[in-house]
């Protein structure tokens, strides 16, 4: 029987945009918001003239470098749906943040650079999506520039990741000579029998102009280019590369579109396709692998924590994915891990760094709880019958550095800043007996995380600091017995991780693991979730 909760959940589309760096992820995020009428005009990543930078990039380092360093949430209505769009960092150094975001979505849009095809980070992200059974829509971007052959790109995807691309649009014109697309399925409730012709707007800020051409008109205007597109489209059908919803939802195929995000070619079709085929929220499994039905009492989990997003709001925001039931602002919820109750009086919706009061929310929505200092990434909150969702694993660090403040008179601010960044998961904060409590060790997937940490300590907490890099390249989990035995072993260092009480061993290379196992038979040295090569 349909309830208000299930009806509202059916209207939600919650997805992330993921890609290799420089594939155009933030650009397409903003273009989707434009097509959703959430913004009036789009600016380039760095902003040009009097245009703003992308709405999802709010940190000063993001604006300066033109890259996404942290994830951001945007919510807007499109057609009869509520869209929750999560932008993610593209840089490999921030894989852990992207992974956490992927736990909070029901689908993903993967961008491929048409000239570069499958890149290392793209491959890793596809693998994460497949492991989490997240359906993926692929958008082959930058087709308005010189590119690989379209069929070659499809073959590359299938060979390298084992997921079959099923094009729903097919380009008219080779890369760099993009005329438009042939639509291979109905998108947005209709299917164009000829082709959709694209035309650039003035400056690329308000959306591309689209014109549907009939078959005769398309042949007259684009002759051989249109004929080739039709032939290739027919060939796709012969090799069973047609869209199939069941195989898409199971992760065996990826519906594929061609476009150019910067000039908005194909973005409108992507927006419609997401509403058409992306799955609505469904019952999530708890730690006991039992599904929490949508119309059960409210539940959600924290997938991100962020402080100081807006200079006008110097506070901390816990990002909560609503999993079941209805959220009402002010309701009393219980934190599953501690059993403590807390108020949700200060609940907000997010649009990049902008905020609004969230009076209610439904499964699939993202809610920001302000100054919920008792909440950490991975925590579950609920009302009514108890539930606890699986914890979010930490990635295996590959870079280690001892962080020291330059001004010891700011020790209190330094400790506060380190604790805040640890709670947000910007880096893993570790301590060792060798260095004492005054010199924390930062463990990161990539060195850019160190730069972010130092920049935020200086800008947000007024504490200049420096990193002394340590000679460790990987880490393994151990237990208290292993920690005692390894405390004096040469060439390694034993750390404690305050956020969960775990013991980590910093190691210079994988060969040292073998010697430790030989010297201490039966000792625990367990691998963490790999973020890179670990």
* Residues 236 and 310 reside in one and the same domain: no
Burial class (CB in 10 A: 0-12, 13-18, 19+), 174: middle
Q: What is the dihedral of CA 363, 367, 372, 377, to 10 degrees?
A: 70
Say if residue 46 carries a ligand binding annotation: no
Same domain, 68 and 200: yes
What pLDDT, on a 0 to 100 scale, did the predictor assign at position 47? 43
Output the pTM of the full model. 0.83
394 part of a folded domain:
no
Q: Are residues 341 and 413 in the same domain?
A: no
Residue-level pLDDT at 409: 93
* One domain for residues 409 and 479: yes
Query: Is residue 183 assigned to a domain?
Result: yes
Q: What is the DSSP string of 158-203?
A: HHHHS-EEEESEEEES-TTS--EEEESS-BTTB--SSEEEEE--SS
- Distance from chain centroid for Cα 469: 28
Query: In order along the chain (534 residues), what is the average pLDDT of each group of 10 residues?
Result: 90 93 85 79 43 49 52 86 85 71 94 92 81 93 97 95 96 96 95 91 67 96 97 95 96 96 93 97 96 97 77 73 97 94 88 77 94 85 96 83 93 91 85 93 88 89 95 95 95 93 95 95 86 42
Same domain, 347 and 209: no
266 and 291 fall within a common domain: no
17 lies in some domain: yes
What are the angstrom distances between the C-alpha of 457 and each of 58, 96, 441?
Answer: 17, 20, 15
Question: So what's the pLDDT on residue 373?
Answer: 73
Based on the domain organization, do 338 and 406 belong to the same domain? Answer: no
Residue 80 belongs to a domain: yes
By residue range, what is the domain housing residue 473?
399-519
Residue 378 corresponds to which tokens in the numbers above?
A: 């991975």
The CA distance from 356 to 85, in Å, is 16
* Tokens 């151990």 -> residue: 478
Predicted local distance difference test score (pLDDT) of residue 62: 53
Whether residue 431 contacts residue 437, with contact meaning beta carbons closer than 8 Å, is answered with yes
Domain closes at, from 357, 382, 407: 382
CB of 465 closer than 8 Å to CB of 457: yes
Q: Are residues 140 and 259 in contact, defined by beta-carbon separation less than 8 angstroms?
A: yes
Give residue 207's pLDDT: 65
**Burial of 89 by CB count in 10 Å (0-12 exposed, 13-18 middle, 19+ buried)?**
buried
- Ligand-binding annotation for 91, yes or no, is yes
| Residue found under tokens 């924390």 | 440
Within a domain: residue 179? yes
Rg (CA), the chain: 24
pLDDT of residue 289: 95
282: in domain? no
Looking at 242, 277, 312, which one is the last position of a domain? 277
Is 459 within any annotated ligand binding site? no
Q: Are residues 325 and 411 in the same domain?
A: no
> Does residue 346 sit in the same domain as residue 423?
no
Sequence-distant (≥ 6) Cβ neighbours of residue 382 within 8 angstroms: 297, 298, 299, 300, 333, 334, 336
131: its two tokens: 């492991």
Domain final residue, candidates 252, 277, 302: 277
What is the pLDDT, as a whole number, of residue 61?
A: 53
The reply to whether 318 and 346 lie within a common domain is: yes
Assess if residue 87 is contained within a domain. yes
Instruction: Give CA 460 to chain center in angstroms.
Output: 24
State the Cα–Cα distance between residues 234 and 250, nearest whole angstrom.
25
Query: Do 443 and 364 belong to one domain?
Result: no
Q: What is the CATH number of the domain that holds 433?
A: 3.30.70.3280
* Phi-psi group of 459: left, alpha or beta (phi > 0 → left; psi -120 to 50 → alpha; rest → beta): alpha
Phi, psi of 237 (to 5 degrees): -65, -35
- Identify the H or E element spanning 427: none
CB contact at 8 A, 344 and 331: yes
Residue 112 and residue 163: Cα distance in Å, rounded? Answer: 14
Report pLDDT for 287. 95
Split into its structural domains, the chain has a count of: 3
Q: Identify the three-state secondary structure at position 310.
A: strand
Are residue 271 and residue 291 in the same domain, yes or no? no
Q: Is the four-CA dihedral 317, 366, 123, 20 of positive or negative sign?
A: negative
Whether residue 401 is annotated as binding a ligand: the answer is: no
382, 327 contact by CB (below 8 A): no
CA nearest neighbour of 141 among 168, 123, 115, 159: 115
Per-residue CA distances from 345 to 312, 400, 425 (Å):
19, 39, 25
| CATH code for position 121 | 3.40.50.300
In a domain, 391, yes or no: no
For residue 154, count CB atoms less than 10 angstroms from its CB and return exposed for 0-12, middle for 13-18, buried for 19 or more: buried
Q: Is 272 annotated to bind ligand? A: no
Quick one: pLDDT at residue 81? 96
Q: How far, in Å, are 182, 240, 279 from residue 391 at the CA level?
A: 44, 39, 23
């Amino acid at each position: 029987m349909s309830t208000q909760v299930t009806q509202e959940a059916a209207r939600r589309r919650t997805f992330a945009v993921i890609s290799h760096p420089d594939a155009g992820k933030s650009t397409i995020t903003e273009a989707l918001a434009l097509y959703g009428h959430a913004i009036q005009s789009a600016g380039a990543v760095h902003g040009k003239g009097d245009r703003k930078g992308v709405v999802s990039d709010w940190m000063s380092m993001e604006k300066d470098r033109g890259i996404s360093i942290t994830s951001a949430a945007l919510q807007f209505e499109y057609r009869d749906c509520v869209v929750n769009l999560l932008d993610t960092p593209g840089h490999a150094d921030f894989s852990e943040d992207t992974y956490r975001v992927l736990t909070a979505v029901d689908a993903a849009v993967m961008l491929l650079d048409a000239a570069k095809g499958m890149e290392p980070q793209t491959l890793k992200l596809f693998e994460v999506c497949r492991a989490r059974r997240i359906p993926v829509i692929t958008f082959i971007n930058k087709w308005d520039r010189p590119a690989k052959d379209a069929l070659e790109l499809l073959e590359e995807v299938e060979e390298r990741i084992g997921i079959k691309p099923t094009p729903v649009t097919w380009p008219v014109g080779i890369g760099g000579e993009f005329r438009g697309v042939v639509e291979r399925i109905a998108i947005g409730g209709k299917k164009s029998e000829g082709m959709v012709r694209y035309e650039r707007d003035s400056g690329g800020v308000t959306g591309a102009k689209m014109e549907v051409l009939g078959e005769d008109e398309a042949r007259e205007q684009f002759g051989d280019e249109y004929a080739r597109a039709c032939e290739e489209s027919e060939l796709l059908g012969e090799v069973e590369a047609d869209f199939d919803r069941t195989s898409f939802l199971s992760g065996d195929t990826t519906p594929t579109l061609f476009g150019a995000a910067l000039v908005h070619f194909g973005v409108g079709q992507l927006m419609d396709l997401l509403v058409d085929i992306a799955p609505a929220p469904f019952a999530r499994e708890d730690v006991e692998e039992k599904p929490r039905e949508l119309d059960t009492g409210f539940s959600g989990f924290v997938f991100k924590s962020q402080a100081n997003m807006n200079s006008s709001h110097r506070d901390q925001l816990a990002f909560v994915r609503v999993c079941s039931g209805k959220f009402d602002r002010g309701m009393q919820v219980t934190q599953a891990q501690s059993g403590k109750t807390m108020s949700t009086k200060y609940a907000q919706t997010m649009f990049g760094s902008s905020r609004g009061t969230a009076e209610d929310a439904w499964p699939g929505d993202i809610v920001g709880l302000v100054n919920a200092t008792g909440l950490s990434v991975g925590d579950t909150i609920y009302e009514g019958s108890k539930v606890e969702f699986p914890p979010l694993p930490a990635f295996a660090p590959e870079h280690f550095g001892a962080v020291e403040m330059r001004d010891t008179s700011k020790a209190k601010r330094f400790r506060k800043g380190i604790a805040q960044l640890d709670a947000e998961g910007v880096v893993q904060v570790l301590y060792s007996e060798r260095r004492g409590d005054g010199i924390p060790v930062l463990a990161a997937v990539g060195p850019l995380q160190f730069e972010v940490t130092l920049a935020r300590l200086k800008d947000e907490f007024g504490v200049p600091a420096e990193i002394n890099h340590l000679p460790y390249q990987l880490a393994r989990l151990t237990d208290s017995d292993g920690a005692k035995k390894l405390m004096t072993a040469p060439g390694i260092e034993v750390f404690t991780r305050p956020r969960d009480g775990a013991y980590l061993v910093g190691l210079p290379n994988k060969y040292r693991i073998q010697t430790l196992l030989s010297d201490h038979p039966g000792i625990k040295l367990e691998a963490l979730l790999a973020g890179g090569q670990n």
